[in-house]
Amino acid sequence: MPRTRSVVLAAGAALLVRRAVRRRIATSPLWPLPALETPVSGQGGRRVPSLRLAVAERAVPAEGVALLRLESPAGTPLPEWRPGAHLDLVLPSGLVRQYSLCGDPADRATYTVATRLIEDGRGGSREVHEHLREGAELVVRGPRNRFPLAEAPSYAFVAGGIGITPVLPMLRAVEAAGTEWRLLYGGRSRATMPFLDEIEKLGGERVTVVAEDEAGLPDAAAFLAEAGEGAAVYCCGPEPLMDAVAAALPEGRTLHLERFTPGASTAQLGTFDVELRRTGRTLTVPAGRSVLATVRDELPNVSYSCEQGFCGTCQQRVLEGEIDHQDELLTDAERQDSMLICVSRCLGRKLVLDL
């Protein structure tokens, strides 16, 4: 009997140990290392709310452009937003893409977004054009606003093609407020420029339309030369247009840019090392490859989503090293000790991540 009792007790103890181990592994994929803290941006306290919305209407406001009006299937009011805000659309394939809200902020029943088909893009715009029809449902995150309309005595807006989408609600807002404004709007042709009729009706002579097939490229320098002292300059469009606006900005004017692709890195794009402190491995990040892709070779469960530096899902804490921040999301305080590993790199030879 004593021997039998000893066997039973040992078996019970072993069962308790196995359960404890399972619980420890569940709380830390890298067990027996400590569980990682939850990142601040993409998965922590600043988590962006998600909604399941349906396509209530699909339209074509210009050649190659699809407009979607999204509503709650339950008919509940949608979260408020201000001009310059955007949504993250989680497409049926799982791709996440950002689109500016271009409707009326006072309309709590629908969100309106528009996207141009990019033939040689990464597939997001094609999926929107080919698969999102009336009645389709999808998850959206937001709205978020990193391109807010600041108070100013006057405004000069510059938009190129689909870059008009965040600008359009701003035009309506400053017009309603009676504030002085002007717009330079360029595109390949008038037929490819969405919302053109509404904008020309709204602004009249304050709107300068430059269709490339008629008049070539817009002259940003000549347009900005007429911007009044203290004017806020807002620009969204292709990178060459935004570069031209930045280069021609007169003194005493403030520039606000909106882009949905990562900016060019000012750091050396060569090889550097990334030490994963908790994992105990040091990896080499080659030129032309992201930190995220390199880290996922070792830790395939590391979270990510947009891969463009906008959503914050891949934010990781940096213990050592100088960061070349290339994201469009983190605050100055967050940049002190964290980075978005999908786009940001290293200014030196080594980074140490809390992974």
Q: Write the pLDDT tens digit of every residue in 165-195.
A: 999 999 999 999 999 999 999 999 999 999 9
Note whether 138 and 60 are within 8 A (CB): no
pLDDT at 34: 36
Nearest Cα neighbor of 155 from 183, 129, 186, 120 is 183
Residue 291 has pLDDT above 50, yes or no: yes
Mean residue pLDDT across the chain: 85
Q: Measured between alpha carbons, how far is 225 from 90 in angstroms, rounded to an integer?
A: 41
Q: Measured between alpha carbons, how far is 156 from 223 in angstroms, rounded to an integer?
A: 8
pLDDT at 41: 38
Note whether 225 and 156 are within 8 A (CB): no
More confident residue, 333 or 346: 346
Residue 59 has pLDDT above 70, yes or no: yes
Sign of the dihedral defined by the CA atoms of residues 239, 67, 164, 147, in that order: negative
The model's pLDDT over 60-84, given as tens digits with 9 standing for 90+, comes to: 999 999 999 999 999 999 999 999 9
pLDDT at 44: 38
The model's pLDDT over 251-289, given as tens digits with 9 standing for 90+, comes to: 999 999 987 555 544 444 679 999 999 999 999 999 889
pLDDT at 287: 86
Longest Cα–Cα distance in the chain: 101
Most confidently predicted of 146-150, 224-228, 311-315: 224-228
State the pTM of this model.
Answer: 0.72
Q: Residues 146-162: what's their mean pLDDT?
A: 95
Token pair recorded at residue 83: 């001009």
Length of the chain, please? 355
Q: pLDDT > 70: what percent of the chain?
A: 82
More confident residue, 267 or 248: 248
pLDDT at 331: 79
pLDDT at 30: 37
For the chain, the first-to-last Cα distance in angstroms comes to 51
Q: Measured between alpha carbons, how far is 65 from 168 in angstroms, rounded to an integer?
A: 15
Name 171's Cβ contacts closer than 8 Å, sequence gap at least 6.
157, 181, 183, 199, 202, 203
pLDDT at 48: 58
The model's pLDDT over 80-113, given as tens digits with 9 standing for 90+, comes to: 999 999 998 988 888 888 899 999 999 999 999 9
Q: Measured between alpha carbons, how far is 241 from 231 in angstroms, rounded to an integer?
A: 19
DSSP 217-234: S--HHHHHTTPPTT-EEE
